[in-house]
Structure formats: structure tokens, C-alpha cells
């Protein structure tokens, strides 16, 4: 019992670190994301898409946040092309494919995958695109996009005042 009390105390006192920055549950998604050195591409894309006010609003939202390395893994020139003003609609579509209405913790997602006959929980992103989640036997959670790409949640349950962020190691691509 003492061990679990110490665990709870150590986790309740410290805010999670993402991209070398402390994430505060009292701040909104945008206020936290701008401080993560691992999410500068995502923040630039959110600004270019005009989604700052939306993601700073009351929500709640669940955001699957790709790292800079995830964006860097896209074919060369993809990010630069998406950030051009004439491609704003496509950029908005890609970014909103990473956002789900409501506050979905990893425990919520895992519970839904376990209820399913095939082990997949199917849900829709704000963009209208279909996403799926699957939990591996070791407890890792993967999110699948419409193209069948699967990306691992590498940091789960980064609580925000207006939702939750799950860091993922790839970019979810709508069809």
C-alpha cells in the first residue's frame, strides 16, 4: 500500500514533460503545445491552418499530436507544400484528422478496444475521417488512419484544461 501511495504522490505533483517542456493541466492545448520543442512543426501547421482559436476554445478535444520527427518522415516537400496558403483546406483536413471531440484518455480508448469483437475501436475525427484504435497484448495503443497507417501513442494522457493530448509517432493521413 505504501508503494502505491508513493506512486500516486509522485505522479500528482509533477506535470508530464513533452518536448522538454512541462505540460500544465491548467493550460489549454495551444498554450502547452507551443512550449514543446518536439511539436514546432505541428504548432506552425496549426497557425497556418487558422486553428489556434479552435484548439484554444473550451472543447473538450482529444488531440493525437505528431512529433516533428513524424512530420519529417513524410515525403520530402510535403510539409512545405501543406503550409502554402493555397493549400490551407488540405492542411485543415490533415490537422483535423488528428482531433476527436471529447476527452478520451488512454484508459477510455483501451476500454473501448477491449469491448470490441475484433479488438479495434472505430471513431471519427473532427474532419469526418475514420480512425481506429487497437491495444496490443503488451498494452501499447496504436491509432490507425483511413490509409491503414498505424501510429503508436508514445506519450499518453497529457491533460489540458480543454482536453487531452496523446503524442503519436506518425502523421494520420486522411484519404
Q: What's the CATH code of the domain at 74?
A: 2.30.180.10
What pLDDT score was predicted for residue 5? 35
Above 60 in pLDDT, residue 13? no
Which of 115, 102, 175, 172 lies closest to 144, judged by CA? 172
Could you list the residue range(s) of the whole structural domain that residue 111 is in? 17-168
Length of the chain: 175
Residue 128 CA to residue 73 CA, distance in Å, equals 24
Q: Please give the DSSP secondary-structure letter assigned to residue 103.
A: -
What distance in Å separates the CA atoms of residue 133 and residue 143, rounded to the nearest whole number? 4
pLDDT digits (tens, 9 = 90+) for 22-31: 766 777 777 7
Element (H, E) at 173: none
| DSSP string covering 106-159 | HHHHHHHHHHSSSSEEEEE-TTS-EEEEEE-TTS-EEEE-TT--EEEEEEEEEE
Q: Could you give the number of structural domains in the chain?
A: 1
pTM (predicted TM-score): 0.85
Residue 113 burial (CB count, 10 A): 19
Q: What's the pLDDT band for 19 if we cut at 50, 70, 90?
A: low
Within a domain: 8: no
Query: Is 79 inside any structural domain?
Result: yes
For residue 168, is pLDDT > 90?
yes
Instruction: Indicate if the pLDDT at residue 106 is higher than 60.
Output: yes
Task: Please state, in angstroms and rounded to a whole number, the distance separating the CA atoms of residues 101 and 112.
Answer: 16
Greatest pairwise CA separation for the chain in angstroms: 59
Domain-located, residue 3: no
| Residue 4 forms part of a structural domain | no
Mean pLDDT of 44-57: 88
Share the mean pLDDT of the chain.
85
pLDDT band, residue 151 (cuts 50/70/90): very high
What integer pLDDT is reported at residue 6 of this predicted model? 34
Q: Is residue 7 part of a domain?
A: no
Amino acid at each position: 500500500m505504501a508503494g502505491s501511495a508513493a506512486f500516486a504522490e509522485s505522479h500528482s505533483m509533477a506535470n508530464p514533460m513533452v518536448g522538454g517542456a512541462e505540460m500544465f493541466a491548467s493550460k489549454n492545448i495551444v498554450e502547452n503545445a507551443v512550449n514543446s520543442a518536439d511539436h514546432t512543426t505541428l504548432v506552425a501547421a496549426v497557425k497556418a491552418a487558422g486553428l489556434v482559436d479552435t484548439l484554444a476554445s473550451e472543447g473538450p478535444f482529444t488531440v493525437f499530436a505528431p512529433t516533428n520527427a513524424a512530420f519529417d518522415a513524410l515525403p520530402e516537400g510535403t510539409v512545405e507544400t501543406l503550409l502554402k496558403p493555397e493549400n490551407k483546406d488540405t492542411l485543415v483536413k490533415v490537422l483535423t484528422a488528428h482531433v476527436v471531440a471529447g476527452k478520451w484518455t488512454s484508459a477510455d480508448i483501451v476500454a473501448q478496444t477491449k469491448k470490441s469483437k475484433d479488438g479495434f475501436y472505430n471513431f471519427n475525427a473532427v474532419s469526418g475521417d475514420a480512425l481506429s484504435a487497437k491495444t496490443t497484448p503488451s498494452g501499447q495503443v496504436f491509432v490507425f488512419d483511413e490509409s491503414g497507417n498505424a501510429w503508436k501513442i508514445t506519450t499518453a494522457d497529457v491533460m489540458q484544461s480543454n482536453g487531452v493530448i496523446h503524442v503519436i509517432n506518425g502523421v494520420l493521413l486522411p484519404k
